Amino acid sequence: MRGTDTGRGLKTVEFRQHGGSLDPEVIVRWAQLTIAIVIIAHNAGAQGFAQLVHDHALDSDYTIIDLLHDLDLDELANHYRKHGLHLHQRPALDWIAQLEDERHSEDATDQNPG
């Protein structure tokens, strides 16, 4: 999911395409998931959504299944667990830690010029 500005003052949300399927359950669950994420993000607002990401982004044990449960999307969590989504490897998060280190270094420099 990525928020983009269309240049006309409209905000859009982009979801990556789900794998092709003719299974009605898979199709409906994907639609339910995308709708739920938009509603939750909208209701949480920028601060609430940013806090959720901040709280869990660096936790390598936190899975999409955990996120779905935290968002009270238990039925979807169970569906995706049944289909093996929890088995996917998270990408390496080294770049996030590096960004945090750089940000802290810049903050320290800004506070102590000299």
- The span from the CA of 15 to the CA of 30, in Å, is 11
User: pLDDT by residue (tens digit) across 38-84?
Assistant: 888 888 887 887 788 788 877 778 888 888 998 899 999 999 898 88
Q: What is the pTM of this model?
A: 0.60
CA dihedral 105, 108, 112, 114 (to 10 degrees): 0
Confidence of residue 1 (pLDDT cuts 50, 70, 90): very low
- The span from the CA of 4 to the CA of 39, in Å, is 17
The structure tokens listed for 102 are 């750089």
